[in-house]
Amino acid sequence: MYTIGALVIVFDASTLIILAKVSLLREVLVAHKAMIPPIIQEECTRESTREDAQLIAQLIKEELLVIVEPERTNRISQIAEDFSLHRGETAALHLAWQEKAPLATDDTPTRKACKILNIRSIIAVAFLERLVQRDLLSGERALSLVKKFKQYGRYDAETLEAVKAKIKQRRR
């Protein structure tokens, strides 16, 4: 099911939804072992008529997204409170800490909390570069998806230009 030696990544709702909306979630989850806490599952699939919610529910059914209940720690809870993180982000942070795994999140306060806790954070658009580097996505398709990331994510022009430059460099 997973690539041998694939990196385990914990996902937050923001990144799952963006990747679903840009039509890249399945490719990301085939290439990476992925975990989410139950609250993230509920947040992402609550509105069951939405296409992104249906895709996420299907990927859970296919076990490309594994549901894991995280253990709570006082340190993480305090940092989550300090950064005013919501329940989903807090649970994802706990799970990333527990699994010693990076956290895929596009939520700025959560990324700041990751930095304090020495948890690597990954934004959705970074998966474009990663998949191109591993020859799991063509450079042409990746460049066409950058426009969708602009539409659905909150990325500044500088970030998107840097991603495009790295993709073009890899194509040479």
Calculate mean pLDDT across residues 60-69. Answer: 96
b/e per residue, 95-126, with b = 16+ CB within 10 A? bbbbbebbbbbbbeebbebbeeeebebbbbbb
Domains of the chain: 8-122 (3.40.50.1010), 126-171 (no CATH)
- Tell me: the pLDDT tens digits for 104-119? 999 999 999 999 999 9
Single-letter amino acid, residue 15 = T
- Tell me: the pLDDT tens digits for 83-96? 899 999 999 999 99
The encoded tokens of residue 2 equal 């997973």
Q: What local confidence, expressed as pLDDT, does residue 72 receive?
A: 84
Distance CA 135, CA 133 (A): 5
Q: Which helix (H) or strand (E) holds 122?
A: strand 121-122
Query: What pLDDT band is residue 171 in, cutting at 50, 70 and 90?
Result: low
Q: What local confidence, expressed as pLDDT, does residue 112 receive?
A: 94
